[in-house]
Structure 1
Amino acid sequence: MFRNLEAYLLALERRGELKRIRVPVSSELEITEIADRMVKRGGPALLFERVVGKDFPVAIGLFGTRERTAFALGVGDLDELSEKVSRLLELKPGRGGISALMGLLPKLPLLKGFFPKRVGRAPVQEVVLKGEAVDLSRLPVLKCWPQDAGPFLTLPLVITRDPETGELNLGMYRMQVLDRRSTAMHWQLHKVGRQHLEKARKLGKKLEVAVALGGDPILTYAATAPLPPLPGVSEFHLAGFLRGAPIELARGVTVDLPVPAEAEFVLEGYIDPEEPPVEEGPFGDHTGFYTPVDLYPRFHVTALTHRKGAIYPATIVGMPPMEDAYLIEASERLFLPPLRLVLPEVADYHMPPEGVAHNWVNVALKKGYPGQAYKVAYGMLGLGQMMFAKVIVAVDADVPVRPGFATLLKALEHALPGRDTLFLRGPIDVLDHSARAFAFGGKLLIDGTRKLPEEGGEVPWAPRVHTELPQDPEALAQRQWPGVWGITLRKERPGQAWALAERLLQTPASAGIRLLLLADHDTALTPEELLWAVLNNIDPERDARVMAGVEGPVLVLDGTRKLPEEGFHRVWPERIRMDERIKALVESRWEEYGL
């Protein structure tokens, strides 16, 4: 564990995983371009000591590699999180009264730190600013991408209390800075914070809110974790369990909420549910696309407290790989044992970075009867935030679930399109721009397990890669992998992708192919970028078809942008790209940064 952010940064520096940038750098786009290059190279965390026009330094890349994320969470490898939770789940007394309880004693240290500790004095309250003295423009809040509506807090730990039950919640939600003393609060439809606000509305009350920045990085992770609703258990308990020491909490200076004593900053205030919502966005999001302008509540800041010499923590989101992929993987490992309690046949699962969390899930299962892969997929779709999963690929227990593309290739060996693919409908992440309707859309299940006789048995198939591909004027670029064919085109008319697919599937190059992926012209034909683009741009019920190839059925996914004539009546978003002038600036200053 690390007592606070500074302790973590010093530990990273000792490991050679922190680079200090001592020259002035802008919080508008420049830091993003530098940090994006670093995370995609697996480089160190960065501490920008001089941010132009701001009063505090910026730390970024705190979870920038799988190894660094494990270090932040106090384990040697992320798989140790599964082991830790598995041991905890064994804490169940059997029969036998006192003797059974005594048997638990050796395991009770696992719960050390589970309960938060209240303290009277907090380093985060060394400086207290109230009312007119609050000025959020002093903070080096990043403007990340060229079309962003403005700067927004990227690692806020948002604390609220259920107005009815008193249960605490710690979540992470985007917060656009609107002015010196207010922000928007990006509480999406399914978020706990929004539920608290709706309850406050019914009770005719304002909702108190506290927002912490910094502290032990375990606490920052806990705010992102999909913790199931458990009475009396909050993300503070999860963080304490993981760190083996309690999270120290102090009372806010203007709100009746606990705040992390070792945080760097705390914003205190309220949201009035009767106040009209404000326009929020657009913003480049973790999907790699811009999310549109929408209406969200305004958070009024009544106090800003911070420690002397505070450091502002930040991250960036955008086209993967980004550091949020490693936080997602930490949650995978942490919640694998509880998943097995519900679905004991699950051997492992993985959400590949290309799927930006909800778009793609690989699951390996110990199969014992026909249809079991579908049973597992249905069960996963009924668990918490897994309900947002768009594509689930099932494989046998002996198939590794990562890296994602390799797992997909193995699944195709046992998945006959049409017979072993299934389309469903359900809830979809509100940030999914391709869904048939807001937060509602199609899902695709691919059963890539070995088939039993009752399931039709195995169908002989030899995946192929053709060196000569057909020349079609609309196929701008093409590439094949064993059983997979990727094609890009410039979308200009409705139905264009399907017509191109039909033509190409009648050529010899479709022999040995079971999956055809169609993407827009600006997509690079690497497995990672192609799958990222296609999975972002499909509603499976609308954009997936089983079509005839020369050797059998082929699953075709139309990952091109959708036109109004194709039944899509919302604004199709732009892909996130950095301004070329900023890229040139960073390139010219690279040696000056000391990188």
Structure 2
Amino acid sequence: MPYEDLREFIRDLEKNNELIKVKSKVSPILEITEIADRMMKMPNGGKALLFENVEGYEGIPVLINAFGSEKRMKMALGVKNFEDIGWKLYKIVKPEIPNTFLEKIKKLPELKKLNDALPVVVKDGKCKEVIKKGNDVNVFEFPVLKCWPKDGGRFITLPIVISKDPENGIRNIGMYRIQLIDKNKVTVHWQIHKGGSHHYWKAKKLGQKIPVAIVIGADPVITYCASAPLPEDVDEFLFAGIIREKGIKLVKCETVPLEVPADAEIVIEGYIDPSEPLHDEGPFGDHTGFYTPVDKYPLMHITCITHRKDPIYQTTIVGKPPMEDGWLGKATERIFLPMVQFNLPEIVDYNLPIAGCFHNFAFVSIKKRYPGHAFKVINALWGLGQLMFEKNIVVFDDWVNVQDINEVLWIWGNNVDPSRDVIIQKGVIDVLDHSTNYVGFGGKMGIDATTKWKEEGYLRDWPEVAKMDESVKKKVLPVWEEILKNMLEMI
């Protein structure tokens, strides 16, 4: 069964020994970051932390690292395998056409599941136990972290940011950092390539204000979906319902025409006026491990804050990998593999390494069928959704385990002649990448690390991988097992 809210998830984390409650007093200014950073870099991501005694914010605990391991991420999504979610999506995107009446009947359960996943608007929710408007609004009432010493202020780092397209009314839910500017003003980090930014520029063209809601601490599936790279105009609340196999309960906001998860911890309502000048945002210690400099972003005016009587503030930190966001990214990598294969069926697997910040490297294995196939895949990936941000794509033969970095480097080093196997392109780059001369635009490299064919200009005989005969492996197995037994006795 899916979690109904964040609190059910927390109780399950505690039950499964995945949560540590910290009773010592700590400050949200830098101190929680230092403790959380140490925990996130422990083997397997350490444990989730619930700080129960936050300096200056007694009664509002801070939850962090809740998604910071493979186990906790799978608990959050209610799956044993991330790919299972991807195959659910695949069946929706590529439904098989039934040929007989019996097959049509068999398809009805799938249609019912999709119908059950639709969000449902209810009259009231726990997120409205406390309602503050006008002069009572004060975003500093919550223990928002200052993460790194040179950050430009305090940032909400795990928000669910909701807006609607001002032309067609289609909802977008994204995860964009929020900097606190004043008690009733924040900046929204709507990067140029993101859905929220698209809404902003449409609203500016139409001369309209754009309503925004920021949700903190929802059912963990909803929080994940806010970070997922869904195609434009696909409703993330519907995606959450598909994962949960149960629709999200939404409630209407108090001051803006938007809907939010009914049982969320905190909801911040307001609007952005595109006629106003953009506001300074940053610096911010980002997921690249470097500070992103001050830049201009939209200013949001807060009109209302609602929350539970005893809210829990869920947050995260980003910085030098590995961090909690690494497992949000790995879940996305696995979930969307079937969809990548839907577009490029020759792909066997791919790996977006955590240390590469997900947009610096993509290692891809393919079933090679014709000369130049690797370059076809490279160019196709650069045109596929948010894979457009990949700066370096390396393509391997299907037998190479791209999840094994040692095997990747072994084959990369041995199979690649840079004068023949490398293409350099220009294209879209993640705006947080500081290496390029221009923000969001720069060089990209594609590398063919597959076995080369004569049709690709290779004039020699490609060597075989040196491998032992299976008969010899089988013959020496008893001796090897005896050696292992002796080693265990020596420990």
What is the rounded CA distance, in whole Å, between the counterparts of 1:135 and 1:72 in structure 2? 30
Match of 2:473 in 1: none
Secondary structure in 2 matching 1:340: helix
What is the rounded CA distance, in whole Å, between the counterparts of 1:389 and 1:369 in structure 2? 24
Question: Does the C-alpha gap of structure 1 residues 174 and 101 become closer, same or farther in structure 2, counting only changes over 3 Å?
Answer: same
Secondary structure in 2 matching 1:419: helix
Q: Aligned-pair distance for 1:85?
A: 3.4
CA contact (8 A) 2:83 2:336 kept: no
What is the rounded CA distance, in whole Å, between the counterparts of 1:118 and 1:462 in structure 2? 62
CA contact (8 A) 2:83 2:337 kept: no
Match of 1:306 in 2: 307
What is the rounded CA distance, in whole Å, between the counterparts of 1:266 and 1:103 in structure 2? 41
CA contact (8 A) 2:364 2:395 kept: yes
What is the rounded CA distance, in whole Å, between the counterparts of 1:243 and 1:412 in structure 2? 43
CA contact (8 A) 1:158 1:209 kept: yes
**Where does 1:55-74 land on structure 2 (aligned, <5 Å)?**
55=58, 56-74=60-78
**Structure 2 length as normaliser, TM-score?**
0.90
Secondary structure in 1 matching 2:321: coil
**Match of residue 194, structure 1, among 189, 193, 197:** 197
1:443-491 CA-to-partner distances (Å, cap 9, x unmatched) read 111111111111233677999xxxxxxxxxxxxxxxxxxxxxxxxxxxx
Match of 2:478 in 1: none
What is the rounded CA distance, in whole Å, between the counterparts of 2:21 and 2:365 in structure 1? 42
4+ runs deviating over 6 angstroms: 458-463
Residue 228 of structure 2 is aligned to residue 225 of structure 1: yes
Match of 1:212 in 2: 215
**Where does 1:188-587 land on structure 2 (aligned, <5 Å)?**
188-230=191-233, 233-457=234-458
Q: Aligned-pair distance for 1:156?
A: 0.7
What is the rounded CA distance, in whole Å, between the counterparts of 2:464 and 2:247 in structure 1? 56
Secondary structure in 1 matching 2:277: coil
CA contact (8 A) 2:393 2:447 kept: yes
What is the rounded CA distance, in whole Å, between the counterparts of 1:35 and 1:269 in structure 2? 31
Secondary structure in 1 matching 2:396: strand
Higher relative contact order (CA 8 A, sep 6+): 2
What is the rounded CA distance, in whole Å, between the counterparts of 2:173 and 2:92 in structure 1? 22
CA contact (8 A) 1:113 1:247 kept: no
CA contact (8 A) 1:91 1:107 kept: no
Secondary structure in 2 matching 1:229: coil
CA contact (8 A) 1:380 1:387 kept: yes
What is the rounded CA distance, in whole Å, between the counterparts of 1:13 and 1:112 in structure 2? 33
Higher mean Cα deviation, 43-52 or 81-90? 81-90
Partner amino acid, structure 1, of 2:153 = G
CA contact (8 A) 1:249 1:260 kept: yes
**Where does 1:139-218 land on structure 2 (aligned, <5 Å)?**
139-218=142-221
**Where does 1:80-95 land on structure 2 (aligned, <5 Å)?**
80-89=84-93, 91-95=95-99
Higher mean Cα deviation, 328-337 or 357-366? 328-337
1:258-304 CA-to-partner distances (Å, cap 9, x unmatched) read 11101100000000101111111000000100000011111111000
Match of 2:82 in 1: 78
What is the count of residue pairs matched by the alignment?
460
CA contact (8 A) 1:134 1:301 kept: yes
Question: Does the C-alpha gap of structure 1 residues 361 and 283 become closer, same or farther in structure 2, counting only changes over 3 Å?
Answer: same
1:376-421 CA-to-partner distances (Å, cap 9, x unmatched) read 1111100111111100010111111213453233222221121111
1:347-404 CA-to-partner distances (Å, cap 9, x unmatched) read 1111001110111111110111111011011111001111111000101111112134
Residue 80 of structure 2 is aligned to residue 51 of structure 1: no
Q: Aligned-pair distance for 1:89?
A: 4.6
What is the rounded CA distance, in whole Å, between the counterparts of 2:94 and 2:207 in structure 1? 44
Secondary structure in 2 matching 1:266: strand
Question: Does the C-alpha gap of structure 1 residues 269 and 405 become closer, same or farther in structure 2, counting only changes over 3 Å?
Answer: farther
Secondary structure in 1 matching 2:214: strand
Partner amino acid, structure 2, of 1:215 = A
CA contact (8 A) 2:333 2:351 kept: yes
CA contact (8 A) 2:395 2:447 kept: yes
Partner amino acid, structure 2, of 1:136 = V
Partner amino acid, structure 2, of 1:105 = L
- Unaligned residue ranges in structure 1 (runs of 5+): 464-595
Secondary structure in 1 matching 2:333: helix
Partner amino acid, structure 2, of 1:138 = E
CA contact (8 A) 2:61 2:312 kept: yes
Partner amino acid, structure 2, of 1:303 = C
After superposition, the CA RMSD in angstroms is 1.8
Question: Does the C-alpha gap of structure 1 residues 85 and 412 become closer, same or farther in structure 2, counting only changes over 3 Å?
Answer: farther
Partner amino acid, structure 1, of 2:146 = K
Partner amino acid, structure 2, of 1:394 = V
Question: Does the C-alpha gap of structure 1 residues 128 and 405 become closer, same or farther in structure 2, counting only changes over 3 Å?
Answer: farther
**Match of residue 126, structure 2, among 115, 120, 123:** 123
What is the rounded CA distance, in whole Å, between the counterparts of 2:416 and 2:314 in structure 1? 45
What is the rounded CA distance, in whole Å, between the counterparts of 1:123 and 1:405 in structure 2? 50
Partner amino acid, structure 2, of 1:329 = K
CA contact (8 A) 1:35 1:61 kept: yes
1:204-254 CA-to-partner distances (Å, cap 9, x unmatched) read 111000011111111001000000124xx3100111100111111000011
Partner amino acid, structure 1, of 2:62 = V
Match of 2:117 in 1: 114
Secondary structure in 1 matching 2:203: helix
Question: Does the C-alpha gap of structure 1 residues 219 and 117 become closer, same or farther in structure 2, counting only changes over 3 Å?
Answer: same
Residue 136 of structure 2 is aligned to residue 133 of structure 1: yes
Higher mean Cα deviation, 283-292 or 74-83? 74-83
**Structure 1 length as normaliser, TM-score?**
0.75
Secondary structure in 2 matching 1:8: helix
Secondary structure in 1 matching 2:251: strand
What is the rounded CA distance, in whole Å, between the counterparts of 1:180 and 1:17 in structure 2? 35
Question: Does the C-alpha gap of structure 1 residues 75 and 29 become closer, same or farther in structure 2, counting only changes over 3 Å?
Answer: same
Higher mean Cα deviation, 102-111 or 364-373? 102-111
CA contact (8 A) 2:451 2:462 kept: no
Q: Aligned-pair distance for 1:176?
A: 0.4
Secondary structure in 2 matching 1:413: helix
CA contact (8 A) 1:61 1:323 kept: yes
Secondary structure in 1 matching 2:403: coil
What is the rounded CA distance, in whole Å, between the counterparts of 2:23 and 2:246 in structure 1? 34
CA contact (8 A) 2:173 2:226 kept: yes
What is the rounded CA distance, in whole Å, between the counterparts of 2:91 and 2:208 in structure 1? 42
CA contact (8 A) 2:348 2:365 kept: yes
Question: Does the C-alpha gap of structure 1 residues 188 and 89 become closer, same or farther in structure 2, counting only changes over 3 Å?
Answer: closer
What is the rounded CA distance, in whole Å, between the counterparts of 1:249 and 1:292 in structure 2? 36
Question: Does the C-alpha gap of structure 1 residues 21 and 51 become closer, same or farther in structure 2, counting only changes over 3 Å?
Answer: same
- Unaligned residue ranges in structure 2 (runs of 5+): 466-491
